Amino acid sequence: MNERLPDRTNGEPALAIVCGAGSLPFALADAAMRRGRRVVLFALRGFADPARVTAYPHHWTWMGQFNRFMRIAATEGCRDIAFIGSVTRPSLWSIRPDWRVLRLMPQIVRLYRGGDDHLQSGIGRLIEQHGFRLLGPKDIAPELTMPLGPLGSCTPGDRDTADIARGLAVLNAMSPHDVGQAVVVADNQVLAVEGPEGTDRAVARVAELRKNGRIRSPSGTGVLVKAAKLGQDHRIDLPTIGPQTVAGAAAAGLAGIAVVAGSTFVAEPQVIAASADRAKLFVVGVEAGGTAP
Amino acid sequence: MNERLPDRTNGEPALAIVCGAGSLPFALADAAMRRGRRVVLFALRGFADPARVTAYPHHWTWMGQFNRFMRIAATEGCRDIAFIGSVTRPSLWSIRPDWRVLRLMPQIVRLYRGGDDHLQSGIGRLIEQHGFRLLGPKDIAPELTMPLGPLGSCTPGDRDTADIARGLAVLNAMSPHDVGQAVVVADNQVLAVEGPEGTDRAVARVAELRKNGRIRSPSGTGVLVKAAKLGQDHRIDLPTIGPQTVAGAAAAGLAGIAVVAGSTFVAEPQVIAASADRAKLFVVGVEAGGTAP
């Protein structure tokens, strides 16, 4: 048994955190605990980091064990639940559907067709139908979401502001079609639109295009613009930036990063500010719904 | 001197074809000559294929030698002009601006900021201000543009038709922002949006995503959808498909290719039909302006 009994099972309802990969689940757990909240991690096998999970009350689980989750959550007194951390397409071996998931399969298959948003909002509904309350990072720890304005000491100039407006306009235009959360715009030209490959790879593409001389604008221009999709369930999939986002933007010769304030997850704002300053990039929280210049 | 005198300099006004890389310039020249038109190639150094250029009346020229072009065009009796073939970002060595281009520089620099369409329509205007008539492949040889309906023997099914509609809707939504000419959609999910990297690389990205298990839909689903951008000058930059487009789509496990009929250049329709049949892909001309299902 690698399940550890939580410190207490009574009192304030605990927060169940279903953990995918990366450090975000622990940042969220720490923030919730700082606010006096009891947390129980449901660590997804094959995704959650075993070395870090052990520091928290936790239960290991396979993806798909919804009935088991419900049983343990009841014992633990969890009614609030949060999903966090990356879960790229799971291999068949990491999914062990139990009878409850099997019964829900027709519904899940319907959700699986269509884009990510469709899938996510459907999962949110499924969970709430089973008596849970789904919370997002913003509900649990608003200090982990991007503030309005710059994180470090660099700020966007006029050209960057125009690129940010163009980027937000492109993201808005694509939003009904459930495409990417991010675009790169330089000197008013769209250099990359994120697809299922994710933000880091879309930005790496810009680095390559620049190296191959396929981009007109010089190094030091261009902005990575990220925004949640329209109708995206902020409780399940909030756009995220981390130090690797800053490193990627620097490698692509961008001037900075703009994300929508309040709806972007920033686990370590001080770390980001420091790496942005080192790379001489701006990282700025902007209001959503920009229009093209 | 590697300039050859044209066969005749009098009679019907000749067509000046400014040739970039690839085989399209020769397909266009052949089609114009089949229609009894005299052609004069202006072969761009560093781009046009020297081995093939010699078969036609031609003048080699550096990019940027607009005054020289005007002088020769007058001697040759060319008033109609067509630009064709790919010209990726020219190296500084392949541009030799003459005085007329230098005088136009402020105008050209203004055009250079902003997306491709902006640049192209500006170039079109510049040329016409100097007394030329700019023609597109469709004006010269409509048989080289995509017909409505399938080119080979495969046809899209219901799922493909929905993907095509979604693809056209995404392209329409992005069109005011001068982004790509192509998207890949599979099972209603947008897998790639073309940026400056071009169609072939965007499709190659889908092949890679599929290999890495980042795509939900199985191999054999998905459509590459291409359309001219709104306001794109069809005389300068028509979307193009060739045998390599079919090969790329096959490698990415797509079901087929859909392009807007009448505004896509297809140099060798028979060759495309044969390779599509071999790869069991459909290649279909559709009407523009689809809406999302």
Confirm whether B104 is domain-assigned. Answer: yes
Per the structure, the count of domains in chain B is 2
Sequence length of chain A is: 293
Q: How confident is the model at residue B198 (pLDDT cuts 50, 70, 90)?
A: confident
Assigned token pair, A193: 């639109």
Q: pLDDT above 90 covers what percent of chain A?
A: 44
Confirm whether B6 is domain-assigned. Answer: no
**pLDDT at residue B291, as a whole number:** 37
Nearest to A209 among B180, B197, B213 (CB): B197
Answer yes or no: do A216 and B112 touch at CB < 8 A: yes
B150 and B240 share one domain: yes
Q: Is the pLDDT of residue B257 over 50?
A: yes
A151 and A209 share one domain: yes
Answer yes or no: do B192 and A195 touch at CB < 8 A: yes
Q: CB pairs below 8 Å between A and B: how many?
A: 97
Q: Is the pLDDT of residue A53 over 90?
A: yes
Burial of A74 (0-12, 13-18, 19+ CB in 10 A): exposed
**Which residues of chain B have a Cβ shorter than 8 Å from any chain A Cβ?**
88-89, 91, 112-116, 166, 169-170, 173-174, 176-180, 187-193, 195-197, 205, 209, 213-216, 292
- Among A281, A181, A293, A204, which Cα is nearest to B115's? A293
A225 vs B contacts (CB less than 8 Å): none
Q: What is the CATH number of the domain that holds A182?
A: 3.40.140.80
A171, A181 Cβ separation under 8 angstroms:
yes
Q: What is the CATH number of the domain that holds A113?
A: 3.40.50.20
Collapse the DSSP code of B52 into the 3-class scheme (helix H, G, I; strand E, B; otherwise coil) and give the result.
helix
Confirm whether A25 is domain-assigned. Answer: yes
pLDDT digit string, tens, across residues A198-236: 899 999 999 999 988 888 788 899 999 999 876 666 776
Confirm whether A171 is domain-assigned. Answer: yes
Confirm whether A1 is domain-assigned. Answer: no
B110 and B172 share one domain: no
Query: What is the residue-averaged pLDDT of chain A?
Result: 84
β-pairing, A14-19 vs A223-226, is: unpaired
A123 and A207 share one domain: no
Give the minimum alpha-carbon distance from A120 to chain B in angstroms, rounded to a whole number: 14
Q: How confident is the model at residue B129 (pLDDT cuts 50, 70, 90)?
A: confident
B207 and B279 share one domain: yes
Confirm whether A56 is domain-assigned. Answer: yes
**Which residues of chain A have a Cβ shorter than 8 Å from any chain B Cβ?**
88-89, 91, 112-116, 166, 169-170, 173-174, 176-180, 187-193, 195-197, 205, 209, 213-216, 292
A227 and A171 share one domain: yes
The C-alpha angle with vertex A178 and arms to A174 and A181, in degrees rounded to 5, equals 75
Q: Please tell me the distance from the alpha carbon of residue A154 to that of residue B166, in angstroms, as a whole number.
A: 40
At which of A95, A114, A140 does a domain end? A140
B244 and B218 share one domain: yes
B133 and B149 share one domain: no
At which of A140, A173, A200 does a domain end? A140
Q: What dihedral angle (degrees, nearest 10) is formed by the CA atoms of A253, A254, A255, A261?
A: -150
Q: Is the pLDDT of residue B58 over 70?
A: yes
B87 and B174 share one domain: no
Q: Is the pLDDT of residue B8 over 80?
A: no
Q: What dihedral angle (degrees, nearest 10) is formed by the CA atoms of B191, B193, B199, B204?
A: -30
Report the pLDDT averaged over residues A24-38: 92
Q: Which one has a higher pLDDT value, A235 or A193?
A: A193
Q: Please tell me the distance from the alpha carbon of residue B289 to that of residue B293, in angstroms, as a whole number.
A: 13
Give the minimum alpha-carbon distance from A172 to chain B in angstroms, rounded to a whole number: 9
Q: Please tell me the distance from the alpha carbon of residue B9 to that of residue B20, in angstroms, as a whole number.
A: 24
AA letter at B135: L
**pLDDT at residue B289, as a whole number:** 66
Answer yes or no: do A176 and B173 touch at CB < 8 A: yes
At which of A140, A171, A203 does a domain end? A140
B171, B290 Cβ separation under 8 angstroms:
no
Beta pairing partners, A17 = A41, A82
Report the pLDDT averaged over residues A116-128: 68
A73 and A199 share one domain: no
B260, B226 Cβ separation under 8 angstroms:
yes
Report the pLDDT averaged over residues B81-102: 69
Confirm whether A2 is domain-assigned. Answer: no
Q: Is the pLDDT of residue A169 over 50?
A: yes
Task: Pick the range with the lowest mean pLDDT from A26-40, A124-138, B180-194, B245-259.
Answer: A124-138
Q: Which domain holds residue A257?
A: 145-286
Answer yes or no: do B177 and A91 touch at CB < 8 A: no
Residue of B nearest to A173 (CA): B173
Assigned token pair, A69: 């989750």
DSSP chain A: ------S-SSSSPEEEEEE-BSSHHHHHHHHHHHTT--EEEEEETTTS-HHHHTTSSEEEE-BT-HHHHHHHHHHHTEEEEEEESB--S--GGGB---HHHHHHHHHHHHHHSS-HHHHHHHHHHHHHHTT-EE--HHHH-GGGBPPSEESSS----HHHHHHHHHHHHHHHHHGGGT--SEEEEETTEEEEE--TT-HHHHHHHHHHHHHTT--SSPTT--EEEE-PPTT--TTT---EE-HHHHHHHHHTT-SEEEEETTSSEES-HHHHHHHHHHHT-EEEEE-S-----
Confirm whether A8 is domain-assigned. Answer: no
B38 and B114 share one domain: yes
Nearest to A214 among B89, B173, B176 (CB): B89
Answer yes or no: do B177 and A169 touch at CB < 8 A: yes
B153 and B282 share one domain: yes
B171, B111 Cβ separation under 8 angstroms:
no
Q: Is the pLDDT of residue A66 over 90?
A: no
pLDDT digit string, tens, across residues B150-166: 999 999 999 999 999 99
Beta pairing partners, B284 = B150, B258
Answer yes or no: do B170 and A177 touch at CB < 8 A: yes
